[in-house]
Amino acid sequence: MQKKAVLLSIILTVLTLVLRAQTTYLPLNTEDYHLLDRLETRSGRLSDSLFLFNKPEMRSRAVDFLSQQGDNARYIGLSAIDRSNISRMVSENGEWAANEDGAEDSKHPWFNTFYKKKFDFIHVHTDNFFLVINPVISAELYREQNNSNLLFWSARGFEARGWISKRIGFYTFVTDNQERDVSFVNSWIQNHTAIPGGDYFLGKETGHYDYLLATGYFDFAVIKDHLNATFGYDKQFLGDGINSTFLSDFSASSPFLRLTTRIWKLNYENLYLELTPQHGSGLDARIPHKYATMHHLSINATRWLNVGVFESIIFDRPDRYEFRYLNPIIFLGSMEQSMGSPDKKHIGIDFKAIAARHLQFYGQFLLDEFTSKYFFSHDGYWANKWALQLGGKYFDAFTVKNLDLQLELNVTRPYTYTHNDTIANYTNYNQPLANPLGADFIQLIGVAKYQPVKHLYLSVKGMYYVQGVDTGSSDYGGNIFQSYLNRPADFGVSLINGVKTNCALLNVNASYELRPNLFLDLGVTHRRFAYDNGMYPDQTTTYFYGGFRLNIARKDNDFY
């Protein structure tokens, strides 16, 4: 470990001496991505520098894209709200504006020291140093039908970002969190021994959970405007949809090294991850590690069509990375086969197409295992393991300005993402790396977003899915934490295998921005979960929530 630390220190020192033009990245799960996605489609052509499939996206490229769209606002028919949102987002990321100081001044700074800029509690900008520090606070209460407990979510902390001598970009986000969740989320936590999106936590016995969230990274430009290296502890997301068959941000953060290459119409991303295999609760001992290498290459084939290819390898070695998998060139499978290893590999393809300045279509197809003899047969071979996503978006739907609709279908075959052991499966810290449902399901999600005025964000989310579940000691393929060696049969495995369940969920939310990044939230969710043939009683619940949050995304409890 000491040798690794010394080597890392040497690498970082060399990089800081020779590299320039770093950046920082837009946090995940913010309205920023919806705005960028909307504007790209409304512009009528795909950007050759902004690849929204690979998240997080660079602030520098986002600001450059927004500035271009602002100049073309009248030509592409953007609304007054769109133009306001563009100005707002450029101001919030003003260090990447043309003059490096696009942040708007505040009319009422605190004590002539704090909030001199509208979005920034502390804002420091010199020739060689830039720093923004903001407090992070949330307090939301939930009231659930037939539940007398006080339910809540609370977070307190800070975020900071900046650069040093225009050579190193940095970001960190730290919050101390407490929550007591609605019944179905609490049930998920108890069953998985995990907080969705979090790692170590306390309170499994009481249902009052206490945990720390801490993320951060350094970023360097290896080749200015073309190759960036980012090292840190955070989440990634690969996809244009609500969920992802490749990699979602649902699971806990993890140590990573990301290489992002953008040349011509090409975007190539290398991800090297240190993951945590599944484990029980109450562990004070050191938890072992597993590792992953992921590659994604995409190209804007035309002005309206982007296509991409994906591959990943998940493997476990005794506290070391498999150095062959550090190879940055795509096609890891040949190396995996040359070693005769049992590592977990996936390949996939994806696309995004825009049409008529209002429509976007997207999709992913992931192949876990392929046997040509059985893949196109109809005998239900268990190893026909794949996942599919198809979706569409309609911006300014039915000529209503700033009304955006999205519909998404996700299908995953049984035993997809599982492995012959319980280590190299497609999971991290007791949580799926892709869709929160795991496998063995058909899922349909619809979302409507509407911004009638500048500071009011309305949304409606509906979800319905059918999933097969295990009974007793049987493994029908829905639980990706199980070894597929426990399967009861090799053939006759249907798309929905095992006991069928179905779930319908509806959420209505209103968020109002009182001041920059200070939101009031108010909403209601209704959920019904049932087993086919009434094997067990239906689980139906309704809960209301309300509260405020500062510099933090809304907590989404409606993930399954």
> Is residue 460 predicted with pLDDT exceeding 80?
yes
Mean pLDDT throughout 223-239?
Answer: 95
d(CA 414, CA 441): 8
Q: How confident is the model at residue 333 (pLDDT cuts 50, 70, 90)?
A: low
Q: Which residues fall within 8 angstroms of residue 53, CB to CB, at 6 or more apart? A: 238, 239, 240, 267, 296, 298, 306, 308, 350, 352
| pLDDT at residue 281, rounded to an integer | 65
Q: How confident is the model at residue 21 (pLDDT cuts 50, 70, 90)?
A: low
Per the structure block, which two tokens stand in for 258? 């990301």
Q: How confident is the model at residue 338 (pLDDT cuts 50, 70, 90)?
A: very low
| pLDDT at residue 375, rounded to an integer | 78
Element (H, E) at 237: strand 237-238
| pLDDT at residue 337, rounded to an integer | 52
d(CA 141, CA 150): 8
Q: What is the pLDDT of residues 182-207, one digit of tens each?
A: 999 999 999 999 999 999 999 988 99
Domains contained in the chain, CATH given:
2-550 (2.40.160.10)
Average pLDDT, the chain: 91
> Is residue 154 predicted with pLDDT exceeding 60?
yes
| pLDDT at residue 284, rounded to an integer | 61
| pLDDT at residue 20, rounded to an integer | 54
Give yes or no for a contact between 445 and 243, defined as CB atoms under 8 angstroms apart.
yes
Highest mean pLDDT among 327-336, 340-349, 395-404: 395-404
Q: How confident is the model at residue 8 (pLDDT cuts 50, 70, 90)?
A: very low
> Is residue 162 predicted with pLDDT exceeding 50?
yes
Question: 156 or 331: whose pLDDT is higher?
Answer: 156
> Is residue 476 predicted with pLDDT exceeding 60?
yes
* Residue 77 Cα distances to 74, 247, 294, 308, angstroms: 5, 34, 39, 30
Q: What is the pLDDT of residues 378-420, one digit of tens each?
A: 888 999 999 999 999 999 999 999 999 999 999 999 999 999 8
> Is residue 137 predicted with pLDDT exceeding 70?
yes
- Per residue, the 3-state secondary structure of 62-100, as one string, reads HHHHHHHHHHCHHHHCCCHHHHHHHHHHHHHCHHHCCCC
Q: Which of 198, 210, 204, 200 is nearest to 186 (CA)?
A: 204
Tell me what percent of the residues of the chain surpass a pLDDT of 90. 77
Mean pLDDT throughout 515-537?
Answer: 93
| pLDDT at residue 90, rounded to an integer | 95
> Is residue 274 predicted with pLDDT exceeding 80?
yes
Tell me what percent of the residues of the chain surpass a pLDDT of 70. 93
